[in-house]
Structure 1
Amino acid sequence: MATNIQVVFYSMYGHIYKMAEAITAGAREVADVDVQIYQVPELVPDDILEKSGAKAARAAFAHVPIIRPEQLADADGIIFGTPTRFGNMASQMRNFLDQTGALWMSGALIGKVGSVFTSTASQHGGQETTLTSFHTTLLHQGMIVVGVPYSEPRLTGMNEVSGGTPYGATTITGSDGSRQPSENELAIARFQGRHVAQITKKQAAK
């Protein structure tokens, strides 16, 4: 029976979506692993999305299905992606997680593997605080938190500006959002997807 991995993200301008695609690709490299990609519901009104340019950017991933909180229980491992908002997760992701009280009450996520990736506008814009504060929610749900170990050598590269932390893959968007995920950042994301899938597969087999 295949191990089930969910990649669950929120993206406004597409940076996190591109990272989610890389995460998904990495997870799919592991044999006997089934990977589904989902997005959480948007909370921003259409007219605001239109004015900000986000509506056009979101067309690239409009085909990705919206997940319901109860669907998380179907996964063996879940990799969450969110942009940073003032050093924390985006409100869209927080709103989604706040609807998982029934899963907490029933213990439905206990023992499942959880992992997180993020983006910021600047190098020091709250990547690590977003990832580690997200981990708190996963720990409350009884999940097994997995990051990116230093067996991924790209974490220590010093020859370019790049995201990537031991707590999860990251990308830097630039203050105007014009910077897209670099190959180094995408490679770390693929590593994270593969690493989480491998650990989840081992955990599910117990």
Structure 2
Amino acid sequence: MSDIVNLAVIYYSSTGTGTAIAKEMAEAAEAAGANVRVRKVPELAPQAVIDSNPLWAAHHAATAEVPAPSLDDVAWADAVIFGSPTRFGNVAAQLKQFIDTLSPLWQTNALADKVYSAFTSTGTRHGGHESTLLAIYNSIYHFGGLIAPPGYTDPVKYVDGNPYGTSHHAVFGPDLGSIDDDTRNAARHQAERVVRLGRALKRGNAA
């Protein structure tokens, strides 16, 4: 059995912050030797609502070619990183809808014994970073998955300050959709940690 980790990064983003984090994580995971699939869950908002926000409309168009996730992507993966912006301190409906479609895999225990982690972004400094990540992890308990939070396992985590997962304060303005070096470093560390733990789990299962 190969110990190359298959990692699925499955996320939702409206104005681009989540896309930037997902891209950073994917690059770090690939550099760490993982096979990576990046998947953006489908948009649920009406087109008129999307068009009312120029940044949302632009990002929606720019990411139209990013594949949507499927059950096969999750079944294939040894590790999954979910990403969602905060919606009133909770998971965005777009990502939650996809998670809710995973019952066929859950019924066969195909979601169990994988490594899971998560990231988020919010429009305010204390706008639900931790509660959103914890809400994502609630589903993982039901999966029988192994949650791999970054914790304070590297100096970069003392800078970004969130042991539950990478999170970014997305400031409204011309730079909305971009991330700073603190978030970038945290994202890379989290992805590398997920790959490392996924590899250790594969080796242990093989043994």
SS in 2 for 1:36: strand
In the alignment, what sits opposite 2:165? 168
The unaligned stretches of length 5 or more in structure 1 are 158-162
In the alignment, what sits opposite 1:23? 25
Deviation at 1:103, TM superposition (A): 1.2
**Cα pair 2:8 2:73 within 8 Å, conserved:** no
CA distance in 2: counterparts of 1:152 and 1:196, whole angstroms = 13
**Cα pair 1:20 1:81 within 8 Å, conserved:** yes
SS in 2 for 1:79: strand
CA distance in 2: counterparts of 1:181 and 1:164, whole angstroms = 15
Task: Report the residue type matching 1:20 in the other structure.
Answer: A
Deviations 1:83-131 (A, max 9, x none): 0000011000111111111111111011000000000111100000000
The unaligned stretches of length 5 or more in structure 2 are none
SS in 2 for 1:196: helix
In the alignment, what sits opposite 1:195? 193
In the alignment, what sits opposite 1:50? 51
Mapping of residues 18-97 of structure 1, within 5 Å? 18-31=20-33, 33-53=34-54, 54-97=56-99
Deviations 1:161-200 (A, max 9, x none): xx55111001111255844311111110011111101110
TM-score (norm 1): 0.92
SS in 2 for 1:66: coil
**Cα pair 1:28 1:194 within 8 Å, conserved:** no
**How many residues were matched structurally?**
200
Task: Report the residue type matching 1:21 in the other structure.
Answer: K
**Cα pair 1:110 1:141 within 8 Å, conserved:** yes
CA distance in 1: counterparts of 2:65 and 2:46, whole angstroms = 19
CA distance in 2: counterparts of 1:30 and 1:10, whole angstroms = 24
CA distance in 1: counterparts of 2:130 and 2:174, whole angstroms = 19
CA distance in 2: counterparts of 1:118 and 1:75, whole angstroms = 21
CA distance in 2: counterparts of 1:90 and 1:164, whole angstroms = 22
Question: Aligned pair in 2 of structure 1 residues 177, 85: CA closer, same or farther (>3 Å)?
Answer: farther
Structure 1 residue 183 corresponds to structure 2 residue 185: no
Task: Report the residue type matching 1:46 in the other structure.
Answer: Q
CA distance in 1: counterparts of 2:62 and 2:156, whole angstroms = 28
CA distance in 2: counterparts of 1:22 and 1:156, whole angstroms = 19
**Cα pair 1:14 1:60 within 8 Å, conserved:** no
TM-score (norm 2): 0.91
CA distance in 2: counterparts of 1:200 and 1:25, whole angstroms = 16
CA distance in 2: counterparts of 1:86 and 1:178, whole angstroms = 22
Structure 1 residue 99 corresponds to structure 2 residue 109: no
